Amino acid sequence: MNRFTSIAFAAAAVIGFASVAPSASVAKDFPSKPVQLQVPFKPGGGADRTFRLFAPYLSEELGVPVKVTNVSGGGGWVSWGQVTNQWNKKKDDHKLAVVNIPHIFSMLNPAMKRKETLESFNFLAWHSYDPGLWLVRWDDERFKNLEDVLDYAVKQPLVIAPGSLGSDDHIGVAFAQQAVPGFQTKFVTSKGDNAKIQLLLGKHVDMVAANVGYYINSILERKLRPIAVMHPEPWRMLPSVPTFEEVTGKKNVTYAGRTIATANGLEEEKRAVYLAAIERAITNPEYMAKEVANKNHLMFLKGDEMWNMLRAGQKVAEQAAYWKQKDVQ
């Protein structure tokens, strides 16, 4: 994981990358109409915000409009089921899909009864990376630090808003249940990061499991207080926040990763057009500056580096086995 994090920092700092060059004829004729960029969640969340910011820069590189659409439901699987099982390499060659890691690893849960694997997706590139974060209300005197939270959860169930079940936030809680004997939880599912914030500020939950990027403003406004980051070392945006491992001695590394995929079987020349355009757009200095302001950490990976990251993410989900963890009802 440390190696991939180093790659992430390098990618955010470097302006140019070696791109896969499409053939001249394809580059001239494709794409020939607007491109749809499908986000698997409702408007307003972190992924939606990021790709609406990204779309104009991708449009500039492709030479056609890029329209962000939202296909929500099933923890992302309404959209991803379309991508893997319905999209056609000819009919849907002007479509791209956002695929969130580790959210797609809900397919590992036997109760989901899904047949997809990582290889079911035609991944183009890894776009961004956002480590896990646990937060409490700023004025909650019960919890001064992570130790207070863990002690509380051993004595009585800790009410947590982890977003959707099977998300990276849920996986982080599952690791905590493995790491801390007697760690009790009660989950309150929520639809999006803003809903989590409202649940916490309204005192409906004790803690939210989330990601760094979306919550920086709430921290700066002293509404929410971060108590642990789920990363191998302190995260540069929150250098004073301890890692879960620093406090407990047990690894708990989770993150929200965003990737871009397209229809299975898409011609390599068309695939190369998309990949080259994504690479140029993600390293556009103006776009990079906006994402820095947006507290979103860009991380461009392709080819073997991307697949190594994907497979490492699956191993984390398998180790967490969140579907086996018990929630107090």
Q: What is the CATH number of the domain that holds 33?
A: 3.40.190.150
**CA separation for the pair 110, 123 (Å, rounded):** 24
Residues 139 and 23 both lie in one domain: no
The answer to whether residues 46 and 98 belong to one domain is: yes
What pLDDT shows up at residue 89?
A: 96
Report phi then psi at 123, rounded to 5.
-70, 135
In a domain, 53, yes or no: yes
- Give the tens place of pLDDT for each residue, 250-298: 989 889 899 999 999 999 999 999 999 999 999 999 999 999 988 889 9
Residue 284 within a domain: yes
What pTM does this model have? 0.80
Domain identity same for 124 and 210: no
Do 7 and 43 fall into the same domain? yes
Of 252, 269, 292, the residue at which a domain comes to its end is: 252
Domain that holds residue 65: 2-129+255-320
Same domain, residue pair 40 and 68: yes
327 occurs within a structural domain: no
Q: Determine the Cα–Cα distance for residues 79 and 76; give it in Å rounded to an integer.
A: 6
- The secondary structure of the chain in percent helix, strand, coil, rounded to multiples of 5, reads 45, 20, 35
Contact 325, 177 (CB under 8 A): yes
> What is the C-alpha to C-alpha distance for residues 215 and 225, in angstroms, rounded to an integer?
10
Query: Per residue in 70-114, pLDDT tens?
Result: 999 888 999 999 999 999 999 999 999 999 998 899 898 898 899
Q: How many domains does the chain have?
A: 2
Domain boundary among 252, 280, 298: 252
Distances (CA, A) of 57 to 51, 125, 295: 10, 16, 18
Domain boundary among 252, 287, 303: 252
- Whether residues 53 and 151 fall in one domain: no
Q: Which residues pair with 298 in a beta bridge?
A: 128
Q: Give me 16's structure tokens.
A: 């140019």
Residues 117, 204, single domain; the answer is no
